[in-house]
Amino acid sequence: MTGADLAAAAQSLVGTPFRLHGRDPQSGLDCIGLFGAAMARAGCPVALPNGYPLRTLAPEAWLPAPESCGFAAAEGAAAPGDVLLMRLGAAQVHLAIVSARGWVHAHAGLRRVVCGQPLAAACVTHRWRLAPRN
């Protein structure tokens, strides 16, 4: 799987309904569910957490370890397939996947997965990219 594969898989989920803790594109996805569904569509399913709170000060407690999913910290310009962790407000974190068309994320307010212009770059606290395979 490449970053382009992950970006294309995420892009294919645009329009999917939003549902908190959603894990099935048929019934809805949240930002973690979007990541899981995109990974599965790209051929690399991952185990995802459930039951996390809507607001948290410690996302490390519920996020899957990026290394266990084949990712490493990314540097330089964002590239398709990069996964972003953002802090959008006090105790509010969110994931997005970079695609060639913009940032794909599960938008709670619009109640669907969307692709659009990057959110405020200052909100990004971590960025991961698929690690090269030996």
Neighbours of 94 (CB within 10 A): 20
Instruction: For residue 33, give the H/E element and its range.
Output: helix 31-41
Average pLDDT rounded to a whole number, residues 60-71: 75
Provide the pLDDT for residue 87.
83
Q: How many domains does the chain have?
A: 1
In tens, the pLDDT along 66-119 reads: 888 889 999 888 999 999 988 877 777 889 999 999 999 999 999 999 998 877
Record the tokens describing residue 9, joined without a space.
């898989």
Instruction: For residue 73, give the H/E element and its range.
Output: strand 71-73
Q: Pseudo-torsion of CA 127, 124, 85, 27, nearest 10°?
A: -120
**CA proximity to 78, closest of 96, 60, 92, 59:** 96
| Range of the structural domain that residue 109 is part of | 3-130
pLDDT mean across residues, the chain: 87
Determine the residue type at 98: V
- Residues facing residue 4 across a β-bridge: none
Domain holding 59: CATH number? 3.90.1720.10
Residue 134 pLDDT exceeds 60: no
Provide the pLDDT for residue 25.
97
**Whole-structure pTM value:** 0.89
Provide the pLDDT for residue 23.
94
Give the C-alpha separation, 110 to 91, whole Å. Answer: 20
Provide, rounded to the nearest whole percent, the portion of the chain with pLDDT above 90: 57
